[in-house]
């Protein structure tokens, strides 16, 4: 069986700040970036590719952290790793010195996600399966052994988790067959960046409707008059039956959030996303009580499963938006999917950035097939940026992710893209 012989971690940055793609009330000028981990084995045909997403500056910190964390994988054989991915994640999380820098948050947790994402990609490729399929084929016991349930037993024990997965075994193959036909539904954030003109917003909303999207999200929070104008433009194009969501990217205190969202309530909003500090569980709960029936959504900055546990315990969210680059890969994601299913809250993962859509399709499919068993109220995010840099990019057709079919986690970047956008010595940055 192949052995991991080398690990490369690259700092890849795309100059998205130039076009204001990704601009919102908190993040005016992000350069979408990846801490990109490549695991090589002594089998030339088998490698693993994983990443976490950042906004530019500081990507070097994640790269430096990942270079330390990945060392433990060198010399290990793929079969042994594959047999105990839960143990691998526990070992890497528990480093008694690095742990102080989190624990389980910030740079060392983002970098850990990149390393573990690469390991999961490797394991799925070794099995010759798309990652969602490798996981969906596991027994309930195997999948729960993968999940990081530490600190969760007050709401979810190991036995309860196994029981939940057993309950969904029936119908699994039917759900897979159904997804193969329909794909997994998604919504688009592409029209709604704050840096876009009203004309561009209107044009992109019309294109999204023409492409079959039934959900569109707008960035808000810089200027209430502008927000009302932009929501009006979007709502008119969407008509009364499609859904409009808004996203404030954490700019408000709790009181301001309540007041501002109420001021937009007549546009029939499905959810307000990140109304305040992503750490403020109780604040989200207060906003939710005050703005109902508008839902509250958050999660792209929720740094670990313990935060999600509390968002659920406190009845603080209507939609759970986990981030595949921020949680410690599939291990922590499966735990969060289980928590959400236990509390009956739909998971609508955060995506966009670079590579997040590619991962999210696997996670939402896994959720539907093996964990929640439902698509009710669920819609994954989709942003049409930077997919051309991947060898197996996600495909969206009729506003749905087409079921991934190639082995792995879909996050291998094109060698030419890495060579062009590696920071600071790639072609683009050398010329810039």
Q: Which residues in this chain contact its own copies in the complex, by CB under 8 A?
A: 26-31, 54-58, 60-62, 64-65, 68, 95-110, 150-154, 250, 253-256, 276-283, 286, 301, 303-304, 306-307, 309-310, 313-314
By beta-carbon proximity to its own copies, the closer residue of 54 and 329 is 54
Burial of 393 (0-12, 13-18, 19+ CB in 10 A): middle
By beta-carbon proximity to its own copies, the closer residue of 93 and 361 is 93
**Considering the complex, what minimum distance in angstroms separates the CB of residue 140 from its own copies?**
21
Q: Tell me if 399 sits within 8 A of 376, measured CB to CB.
A: no
> Pick the catalytic residue: 168, 217, 219, 368?
219
Query: In the annotation, is 219 catalytic?
Result: yes
Tokens linked to 358: 């590619």
> Pick the catalytic residue: 350, 362, 368, 389?
350
**Considering the complex, what minimum distance in angstroms separates the CB of residue 110 from its own copies?**
7
By beta-carbon proximity to its own copies, the closer residue of 267 and 421 is 421
Query: In the annotation, is 303 catalytic?
Result: no
For every residue of the chain, which 3-state class applies, written as one string?
CCEEEEEEEEEEECCHHHCCCCCCCCCCCCCCEEEEEEEEECCCCCEEEEEEEECCCCHHHHHHHHHHHHHHHCCCEHHHHHHCHHHHHHHHHCCCCHHHHCCCCCHHHHHHHHHHHHHHHHHHHHHCCEHHHHHHCCCHHHHHHHCCCCCCCCCCCHHHHHHHHHHCCCCHHHHHHHHHHHCEEEEEEEEECCCCCHHHHHHHHHHHHHCCCCEEEEECCCCHHHHHHHHHHHHHHHCCCCEEEEECCCCCCHHHHHHHHHCCHHHCEEEEECCCCCCCHHHHHHHHHHHCCCEEEECCCCCCHHHHHHHHHCCCCCEECCCCCCCCHHHHHHHHHHHHHHHCCCECCCCCCCCHHHHHHHHHHHHHHHHCCCCCCCCEEECCCCHHHECCCCCEECCEECCCCCCECCCCECHHHHHHHECCCCHHHHHC
Neighbours of 432 (CB within 10 A): 10
**Considering the complex, what minimum distance in angstroms separates the CB of residue 163 from its own copies?**
18
By beta-carbon proximity to its own copies, the closer residue of 254 and 261 is 254
Q: Tell me if 373 sits within 8 A of 367, measured CB to CB.
A: no
By beta-carbon proximity to its own copies, the closer residue of 249 and 361 is 249
**Considering the complex, what minimum distance in angstroms separates the CB of residue 72 from its own copies?**
12
By beta-carbon proximity to its own copies, the closer residue of 112 and 400 is 112
**Considering the complex, what minimum distance in angstroms separates the CB of residue 332 from its own copies?**
13
**Considering the complex, what minimum distance in angstroms separates the CB of residue 250 from its own copies?**
7
**Considering the complex, what minimum distance in angstroms separates the CB of residue 111 from its own copies?**
9
Active-site residue numbers?
219, 350
């Amino acid at each position: 069986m192949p052995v991991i012989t080398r690990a490369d971690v690259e700092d890849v940055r795309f100059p998205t700040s130039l076009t204001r793609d990704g601009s919102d009330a908190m993040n005016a000028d992000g350069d979408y970036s990846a801490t990109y981990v490549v695991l090589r084995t002594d089998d030339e045909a088998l490698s693993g590719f994983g990443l976490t997403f950042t906004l530019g500056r500081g990507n070097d910190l994640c790269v430096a952290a990942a270079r330390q964390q990945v060392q433990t994988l060198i010399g290990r054989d793929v079969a042994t790793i594959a047999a105990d991915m839960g143990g691998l994640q526990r070992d890497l999380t528990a480093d008694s010195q690095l742990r102080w820098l989190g624990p389980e948050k910030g740079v060392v947790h983002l970098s850990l996600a990149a390393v573990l994402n690469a390991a999961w990609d490797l394991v799925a490729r070794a099995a010759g399966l798309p990652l969602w399929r490798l996981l969906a084929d596991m027994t309930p016991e195997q999948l729960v052994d993968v999940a990081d349930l530490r600190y969760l037993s007050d709401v979810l024990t190991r036995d309860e988790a196994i029981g939940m997965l057993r309950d969904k075994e029936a119908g699994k193959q039917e759900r897979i067959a159904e997804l193969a036909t329909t794909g997994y539904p998604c919504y688009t954030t592409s029209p709604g960046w704050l840096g876009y003109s009203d004309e561009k917003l209107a044009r992109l909303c019309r294109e999204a409707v023409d492409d079959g999207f039934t959900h569109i999200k707008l960035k808000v929070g810089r200027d209430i008059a502008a927000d009302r104008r932009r929501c009006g433009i979007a709502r008119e194009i969407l008509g009364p039956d499609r859904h409009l969501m808004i996203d404030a990217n954490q700019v408000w205190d709790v009181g301001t959030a309540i007041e501002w969202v109420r001021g937009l309530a007549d546009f029939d909003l499905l959810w307000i996303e990140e109304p305040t500090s992503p750490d403020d569980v109780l604040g989200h709960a207060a906003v939710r009580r005050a703005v109902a029936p508008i839902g509250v959504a958050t999660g792209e900055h929720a740094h670990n499963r313990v935060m999600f546990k509390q968002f659920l315990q406190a009845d603080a969210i209507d939609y759970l938006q986990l981030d595949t680059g921020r949680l410690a890969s599939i291990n922590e994601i499966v735990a969060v999917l289980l928590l959400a299913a236990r509390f009956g809250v739909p998971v609508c993962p955060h995506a966009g950035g670079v590579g997040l859509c590619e991962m999210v399709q696997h996670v939402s499919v896994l959720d539907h097939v093996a964990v929640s068993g439902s698509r009710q109220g669920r819609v994954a995010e989709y942003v049409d940026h930077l997919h051309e840099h991947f060898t197996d990019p996600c495909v969206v057709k009729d506003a749905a992710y087409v079921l991934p079919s190639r082995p792995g986690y879909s996050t291998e970047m094109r060698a030419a893209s890495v060579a062009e956008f590696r920071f600071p010595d790639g072609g683009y940055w050398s010329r810039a």
